[in-house]
């Protein structure tokens, strides 16, 4: 196909809000759509307006997906979302996001997987493979160091080379093995250079990480379209009439590097051709009801039982349910606001359907960010006293966790703290269920409740999933993929510098459990933590070459799933005390024992050498540690590299 330079300029700039340029029908356009937790597809293509969103399956957020510790479920959820895309003629899903949870205050943390780069990378990789198995493309985002929403268009993330490679680029490196069609740059600057025009990091993406697809801007992130093109950006989204006019004028004035233009235009042509070929093979794999069932299965596997003093599973009796999330659908805000295709089922209805004498009583009516409408708490307390079990639901929701702004603190509202305090005085047994997309301060709830359950943002069937776990129809098997600290003051990134222009990553690799475990800082719930209705015993840790095996026995009375976590502890100075390098989730029947095997390659023993400008295997003695969580070693043995 012969196209002019003027047409090539059009190719590297979107046609409208959601579609690439088709040059008047000369080539196949590509339609993209938001999709962090389900398809957010609009009936119109020239706007971001929410009122035209098609109903679609609302899946659990990425936090809950990662808490399953089952990458097979990430593939399955991705493949289901591909079917949603096929239903609405969407060619590229704008996800997954693999940014590191540097701080729990980030407003978009519910869209990200973990504080750990290995977990984030592995789940991102499997999700991409699932979506693209349906012949629908993906957009790996947000590249890179977009770890706060505060002034996200203007602040520069100032970071050293080692931390950048080992923590913040590592999940992209892993996820890129799945070969996403596109990579989306973030809004922020990195070391003073805007990511939509960051030639150095685009070079890393292509030459070191091997990406050969289209680099696309986040929406309205481009400030200078000419600089962005010359830095390696292939596609600006959405259409910007002013930028389009500027670029045509730059072309006439001879300011456009024609080699750069040719390269990016060819990538856009290749994307169009790839999409045209993919369309021939698109077939829906799952019915809508099967996709909803997958959504519920992910949530059931991601729910984390944080505390249980014998109240769960629920026995028969009268169950009092209260709190806003029990009857209002809680989810994150912004580009992930999916319009569910089925009515929300309140938690008390879901429990009633399982045969419980469950009813709702008002306490916390609605939560508007940090503002709360409090109902008749006295009545709730009296009805709690007349019940066998009281379930209090608390959480954040779209008013507290949303794109373009950060949370002020990790505490829940004073009204919710009042509710747990006063209900504790009356309730025979008190269960707290938490609906939040990122870590919150649960110390007060842990202190007063008989059981604490993390339901997160669980998608449209969250109530059915929570009810099944509370009832024991599903044995909880979720494990945390971020640390729950006692206070925001304990988070290293919250004690670093920030000014009007820069956010300094002074804490270096001290992110999440790497910091807490290394510095022996107490936490409420460590990374990798989660309880079950059964118990598991570990034995017989062995190493044969790069294969590590361990026996795991279910010594309880209930079938269940266990997450086997393998960490590597090194002897290098200025390094974490241990780092997660492999994991596997296994189902074990009561009384049975299985042997779990995991492989470690050379990457498990590499660190980034700044002076050498590359990754180096650090020879020496290590310890292989099978852990219950990042703070609890079960078995270990030496290993020499």
Residues forming the active site: 218
CA distance 413 to 382: 22
Give the Cα separation of 634 and 502 in Å (integer).
Answer: 42
**How far from each other are the two terminal CA atoms of the chain, in whole angstroms?**
54
- Residue ranges of alpha helices (H) inside 366-459 are 377-385, 414-426, 443-448
3-state secondary structure (DSSP) of residue 397: coil
Cα 20 to Cα 10: distance, rounded to the nearest angstrom: 9
Please choose, from the candidates 21, 80, 75, the residue with its C-alpha nearest in 3D space to the C-alpha of residue 216.
21
Q: Give the residue carrying structure tokens 């498990």.
A: 604
Sign of CA dihedral 112, 113, 116, 121: negative
Tokens of 620: 């020496």
Q: What are phi and psi of 22, to 5 degrees?
A: -115, 5
Residue pair 482/101 in contact by the 8 Å Cβ criterion: yes
Q: Cβ distance 33 to 45 under 8 Å?
A: no
Token representation of residue 458: 């669980």
Q: Crossing angle for the helix pair 414-426 and 377-385, nearest 10 degrees?
A: 30
* Beta carbons within 10 angstroms of residue 488's beta carbon: 19
| C-alpha pair distances (Å), 9 with each of 23, 244, 396, 439, 527 | 11, 8, 44, 44, 48
């Amino acid at each position: 196909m012969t196209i002019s330079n003027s047409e090539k300029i059009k190719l590297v700039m979107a046609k409208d809000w959601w579609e690439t340029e088709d040059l008047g029908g000369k080539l196949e356009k590509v339609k993209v759509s938001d999709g962090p937790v389900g398809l957010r597809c609009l009936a119109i293509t020239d706007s971001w307006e929410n009122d035209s969103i098609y109903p679609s399956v609302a899946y659990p957020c990425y936090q809950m997906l990662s808490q399953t510790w089952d990458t097979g479920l990430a593939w399955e959820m991705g493949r289901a979302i591909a079917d949603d895309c096929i239903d609405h003629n969407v060619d590229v899903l704008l996800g997954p996001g693999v940014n590191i949870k540097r701080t729990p205050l980030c407003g978009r943390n519910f869209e990200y997987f973990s504080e750990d780069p290995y977990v984030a990378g592995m789940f991102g990789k499997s999700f991409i493979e699932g979506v693209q198995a349906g012949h629908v493309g993906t957009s790996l985002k947000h590249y890179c160091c977009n770890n706060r929403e505060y002034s996200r268009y203007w602040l520069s993330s100032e970071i050293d080379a080692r931390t950048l490679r080992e923590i913040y680029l590592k999940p992209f490196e892993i996820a890129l093995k799945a070969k996403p069609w596109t990579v989306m740059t973030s809004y922020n600057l990195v070391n003073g250079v805007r990511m939509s025009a960051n030639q150095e990091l685009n070079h890393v993406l292509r030459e070191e990480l091997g990406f050969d697809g289209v680099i696309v801007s986040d929406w309205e992130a481009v400030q200078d379209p000419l600089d962005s093109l010359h830095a390696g950006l292939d596609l600006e989204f959405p259409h910007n009439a002013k930028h389009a006019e500027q670029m045509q004028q730059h072309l006439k004035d001879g300011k456009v590097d024609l080699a750069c233009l040719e390269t990016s235009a060819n990538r856009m042509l290749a994307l169009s051709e790839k999409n045209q070929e993919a369309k021939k093979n698109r077939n829906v794999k799952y019915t809508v009801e099967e996709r909803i069932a997958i959504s519920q299965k992910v949530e059931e596997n991601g729910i984390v039982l944080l505390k249980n003093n014998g109240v769960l599973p629920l026995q028969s009796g009268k169950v009092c349910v209260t709190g806003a999330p029990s009857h209002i659908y809680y989810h994150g805000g912004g580009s992930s606001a999916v319009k569910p295709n089925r009515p929300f089922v309140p938690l008390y209805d879901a429990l009633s359907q399982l045969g419980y004498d469950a009813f709702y009583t008002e306490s916390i009516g609605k939560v508007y960010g940090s503002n709360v409408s409090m109902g008749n708490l006295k009545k709730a307390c009296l009805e709690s006293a007349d019940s066998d079990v009281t379930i209090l639901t608390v959480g954040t929701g779209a008013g507290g966790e949303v794109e373009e702004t950060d949370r002020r603190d990790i505490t829940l509202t004073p009204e919710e703290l009042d509710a747990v305090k006063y209900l504790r005085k009356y309730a025979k047994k008190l269960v707290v269920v938490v609906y939040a997309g990122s870590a919150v301060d649960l110390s007060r709830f842990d202190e007063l409740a008989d059981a604490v359950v993390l339901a997160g943002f669980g998608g449209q069937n969250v109530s059915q999933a929570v009810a099944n776990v509370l009832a024991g129809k599903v044995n909880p098997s979720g494990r945390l993929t971020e640390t729950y600290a006692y206070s925001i003051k304990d988070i290293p990134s919250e004690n670093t510098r920030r000014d009007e222009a820069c956010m300094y990553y002074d804490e270096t690799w001290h992110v999440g459990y790497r910091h807490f475990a290394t510095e022996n800082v107490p936490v409420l719930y460590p990374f990798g933590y989660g309880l079950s209705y059964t118990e598991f015993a570990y034995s017989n840790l062995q190493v044969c070459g790069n294969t590590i095996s361990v026996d795991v026995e279910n010594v309880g009375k209930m079938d269940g799933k266990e997450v086997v976590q393998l960490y590597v502890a090194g002897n290098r100075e200025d390094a974490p005390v241990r780092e997660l390098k492999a994991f596997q989730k296994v189902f074990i029947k009561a009384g049975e024992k299985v042997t779990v095997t995991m492989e470690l390659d050379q990457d498990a023993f590499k660190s980034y050498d700044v002076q050498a400008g590359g990754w180096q295997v650090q020879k020496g003695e290590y310890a292989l540690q099978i852990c219950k969580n990042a703070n609890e070693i079960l078995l270990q043995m030496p290993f020499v590299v």
